[in-house]
Structures are given as C-alpha cells and as structure tokens.
Copies of this chain bind each other. A is one copy, B any other.
C-alpha cells in the first residue's frame, strides 16, 4: 500500500557495471536474496554508513575496504549480520573471500552488505553457494531484478534512472534503494546504490556523496530507528569516457545536481513504501537560527507517534504538532512567534490558533495522500526539510509479525 510509488520503469543500464542475482535461501526459499554488482576496472566507489554504534560486520568491512580498487559489491537480505560479534566479522570476511575467489581478485576488493534480522548468525555457506548462480546472470541491463533482490519488508522495488549531458556526451545515472522500517538514516539509508558512467577520482566522489546524503537519505524517517546496516554507495564507472576531476568545475555541479535529484527520489521512495504508510508527509521548518535546530524540530514532528497517528486518521488534531515543536529541545525557542501551515492553510499564528483557521480547511488537507507541514520560526534564515509517513495499524502488524 505504498503512497504514490510507481513501479520502476525505463531503467537504463550504466556501462561499466553488471548486476546478477540469486535465490540463496538465506532466510526463506524461493526469493531473490543475493545480489552481486561487478564493476569494470577503474571504477571509483564512495560510501557513507550508519553511525549506529552496533554497526554491522559488513559495514565494518566496507569501511576498511573502501579506498582500494573495488571490483564488486555483494548484498544479501534476510540477515543483517549485526550484533553478531567476532563470528559475524568472520562470516563477512568469508563472503568477500568466496566472491573474490570466483572473480579472481583480492577479498579486499569486495564490499559486502547485509540487511535483515539482527542478532542471528549469517548462514554464510548458503550465501557462498548462491554466488555462482548470481555470477551466471550478470548483465548491465539487470537493475529491475537488482532492486527486487535487495527488498525485505518493502512492498515494491525502488529504482530510477536519469540522464544528463556533460561535455557533449550523455551520462547515465541509475540507482536502487530498499528499506521500509528501522528507517532514520544517520549519514546514510538502509541500502542505497547509485551508479553512473561518468568518471571521478575517489576523493571527489566521496565529497559529492557526503553532500548529497545530507540532503537526501539523511532527510527521511519512518520510525526513528537508525539501522545497524545503513549504507549509501555511489559508483562512478568512467565507462562513458567523461571524467569529472574537480569539485570546482561546471561538470561537477551538473553531475552533483543529477545525483542529488536521483538520491532524493530514491530516498522518498523508501518513505512512500514506509511500513504501513498511507500518507507521504514533507516537514519544512524555515526561518531558523541554524539548520540543526530546524532539523531537530522537523524530526520531533516526524517522529511523534501522536502526530503520525493523527495523519493516519486524517484528523486535524494539530495541537500535537505544536507540542512536538515545543519538546524538540530548542531551549530558547520563542513560541509566540511561530506560524504553522498545513499546505496553504495557516493553522497557528504567533504561537496560538489563527483566528481565521477553520477546522474544515485543516480537514481538507489532512485527507490528502501528500501533505506539507510548514513551520516558520521567525528567528533566522536557516531551513530544513524531512520526509516521513504516518503511523498506521499496518505498521504495528508488520513489525509484530516480521520474523514469523
């Protein structure tokens, strides 16, 4: 029951990257649960990862391997390999070694990713046994299958493509993402992968990724639970022959704009498919003294179970939004200056109910499937936007049943 989330279409292959999948039976039989992405020589890879202190074993290996000449990424679902201690690290190393041996490269040239249940041992034998099947169907035009292979509680695959002309050549960008619960990325999302056939030195790519993550995957929340496995990866294969070498160039600006647009699209897809989501909510906080305080207030609104259930009910019980602003932890906030809008409806003015506000106007907006909450703080020029969804019965059902 995703919110205005079309199925992937017109996905464009990105020269320099091939994708292959398998049904390895990691947790359940007969579902795609293993993905390999093989990179052409010379590709650059950058990544940002969860700040959760219980960061998963594969995330720890990714951090260690990044910077080297990466030749492949491998993703399994069904098991997060997190909270698994030393045996988990060994399992992640085994995964890399198994794939490296098949590809004829070093284990350090592999980046491993896992997503699924935490605290359970990774069945690394089943994973390794599935790798040959994944390699057997490697091809460039395989993004739709790849998007399916990384799904967990997602109800739909998430993928999109863009093209842009740089230096007279057409550059392609294609990305996939997954995640529907335990979503409040902190530096990254559950799993997001974007590839382009532009080329870029790794340090420049890493900076671009960090900037983009802060304005896309780091702006979404479903339930406020920061995962142990969040990873957002950007791959530049260089197969187009177009090289973007400096962050000061016009080409960089063009590419960065496209990567940001694609990242925001993929991040918003995660919210649209949020567990149990029936509404897509944008929370915009403006006129703040700092971006940080705007984000604090936006997340306080976006995480409030009371605000989220009111959206689910289409009930303009909007005092709950004021309460969430008030407890956001901005200690010197002068609430008597705050205006609150629901789309175009001015609900609260100067910290109190707008005398002209009519319940039926709030009701009209609350019934929509896409709603913007706008808070004006009147204390500066900073702003922040986050995207979130409502809290429904289905969220409870999904998470009360997830493992069974």
Contact = CB atoms under 8 A, between A and B. Distances in A.
Interface string A72-84: 0000000010111
B225 A304 contact: yes
Interface in A184-240: 184, 186, 223-228
Contact of A404 (B119, B315, B325): B315
B303 A224 contact: yes
Interface string A360-394: 00000000000000000000000000000001110
Interface stretch (A30-38, A129-137, A345-353): A345-353
A201 to B, nearest CB: 30
B181 A306 contact: yes
Given A224-B305, A327-B226, A397-B393, A350 B320 contact: no
A82 B225 CA distance: 30
A248 interface: no
B335 A54 contact: yes
B84 A52 contact: no
A323 B396 contact: no
A28 B92 CA distance: 61
Nearest to A52: B326
B403 A317 contact: yes
A53 B43 CA distance: 51
Interface in A339-361: 347-348, 350-353
Given A305-B224, A396-B392, A319 B119 contact: yes
A294 to B, nearest CB: 15
A353 B85 contact: yes
A55 interface: yes
A117 interface: yes
Contact of A319 (B120, B224, B331): B120
A120 B357 CA distance: 11
A86 B352 contact: yes
Contact of A83 (B55, B315, B352, B402): B352
A259 interface: no
Contact of A322 (B118, B181, B330, B350): B118
A352 B84 contact: yes
A279 to B, nearest CB: 12
Given A181-B306, A306-B223, A353 B83 contact: yes
A102 interface: no
Nearest to A404: B315
A42 to B, nearest CB: 36
A378 to B, nearest CB: 14
B323 A226 contact: yes
Contacts of A351: 54, 83, 85
Interface in A285-339: 303-306, 309-310, 312-313, 315, 317-320, 322-328, 330-331, 333, 335-336
Contacts of A82: 319, 322-323
Contacts of A318: 119
B396 A312 contact: yes
Nearest to A88: B352
Interface string A119-163: 111000000000000000000000000000000000000000000
Contacts of A392: 396
A189 to B, nearest CB: 14
A106 to B, nearest CB: 27
A402 B323 contact: no
A85 B336 contact: yes
Please name the 5 residue pairs, one residue from A and one from B, whose CB atoms are nearest each other, closest first: A85-B352, A118-B319, A54-B326, A119-B319, A313-B400
